[in-house]
């Protein structure tokens, strides 16, 4: 009770201050999709991004300096996904830290083959999401700043690493990573899983037959990536998604409740 009271008071004090003019510039420069949001959504997003930016722990990797521009743009993108959520759920309570790399994340991967030979390869990642099960301090989102900027620069290509990784965070909020976010009941989650899997299998069939599909083919990897990649298209290419995959669009809209095809 005391913690909740102090949190509400801290947030109220923060929101009593005028929205920083420099942050408006950051939004218009790095997140042009903000201007396309319905006018009723914009004040709510300004409030929520400020709270998100203040309450998460931000860390630059390898000496990378995290500044207000980065916090503003990433917070705005993340909170766009949850504009229709209740206040506390909208702020990704399962995420405690945001790690920023200056450029695309690379990792050395070691694999043993035939029981003897070890091969080493580099893997490139635009971002990563780590659940609370993999961190002592809560969920973590790792992002490459160059890829955040790239995603914001083209708000209609269906590719945005922040949407992608924070969709994973929503998926992982119940501790599992399977493309089904917590929906409040077993029956709702079973229906969601069945519909998502059906859409995924149909898209795989089309793609393997040489047909174009309205999402990044990386989404065909597994249900978790399908949910995250489809979320990118839901926000950035909603009319195309609704036209080509109406069941998938409706499924995502039942969760996010943003109706972006009407923006």
Handedness of CA 228, 152, 39, 244 (dihedral sign): negative
The model's confidence at residue 242, banded by pLDDT at 50, 70 and 90, is very high
Q: Which of 79, 129, 69 is nearest to 99 (CA)?
A: 129
pLDDT reading at 106 higher than 80 = no
pLDDT, position 125: 54
Q: What is the per-residue pLDDT across 152-189, written as a single tens digit (0 to 9) for each?
A: 999 999 999 999 999 999 999 988 889 999 999 999 99
pLDDT, position 118: 36
Architecture of domain 19-154: Orthogonal Bundle (1.10)
The domain ranges of the chain are 19-154, 178-263
Task: For the chain, state the CA radius of gyration.
Answer: 19
Q: What is the per-residue pLDDT across 219-234, written as a single tens digit (0 to 9) for each?
A: 999 999 999 999 999 9
Percent of the chain scored above 70 by pLDDT?
Answer: 86
pLDDT reading at 74 higher than 50 = yes
In what helix (H) or strand (E) does residue 106 lie, and over which residues does it extend?
A: strand 105-113
In what helix (H) or strand (E) does residue 123 lie, and over which residues does it extend?
A: strand 117-125
Computed over every residue of the chain, the mean pLDDT equals 89
Q: Is residue 256 within 8 Å of residue 238, measured between CB atoms?
A: no
pLDDT, position 6: 86
Fold of 178-263: Collagenase (Catalytic Domain) (3.40.390)
**pTM of the entire predicted model:** 0.89
Burial annotation 158-171 (CB, 10 A radius, 16+ → b, else e): bbbbbbbbbbbbbb
pLDDT, position 136: 43
Task: Find tokens 């708000």 and name the residue.
Answer: 155
Q: What is the per-residue pLDDT across 186-216, written as a single tens digit (0 to 9) for each?
A: 999 999 999 999 999 999 999 999 999 999 9
Strand partners, 107: 123
């Amino acid at each position: 009770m005391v913690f909740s009271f102090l949190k509400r008071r801290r947030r109220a004090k923060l929101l009593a201050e005028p929205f920083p003019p420099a942050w408006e510039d950051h939004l218009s420069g790095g997140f042009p999709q903000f201007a396309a949001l319905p006018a009723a959504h914009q004040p709510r997003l300004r409030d929520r991004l400020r709270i998100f930016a203040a309450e998460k722990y931000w860390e630059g990797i390898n000496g990378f300096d995290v500044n207000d521009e980065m916090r503003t743009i990433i917070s705005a993108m993340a909170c766009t996904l949850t504009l229709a959520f209740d206040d506390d759920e909208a702020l990704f309570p399962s995420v405690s830290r945001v790690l920023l790399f200056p450029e695309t994340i690379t990792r050395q991967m070691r694999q043993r083959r035939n029981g003897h030979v070890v091969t080493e390869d580099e893997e490139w990642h635009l971002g990563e999401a780590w659940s609370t099960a993999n961190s002592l301090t809560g969920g973590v989102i790792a992002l490459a700043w160059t890829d955040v900027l790239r995603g914001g620069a083209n708000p209609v290509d269906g590719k945005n690493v922040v949407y992608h990784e924070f969709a994973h965070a929503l998926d992982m909020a119940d501790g599992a990573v399977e493309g089904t976010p917590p929906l409040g009941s077993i029956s709702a989650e079973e229906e969601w899983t069945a519909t998502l899997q059906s859409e995924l299998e149909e898209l795989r069939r089309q793609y393997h037959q040489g047909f174009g599909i309205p999402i990044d083919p990386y989404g065909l990897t597994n249900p978790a990536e399908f949910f995250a990649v489809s979320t990118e298209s839901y926000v950035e290419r909603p009319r195309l998604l609704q036209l080509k995959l109406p069941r998938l669009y409706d499924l995502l809209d039942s969760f996010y409740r943003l109706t972006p095809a009407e923006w």
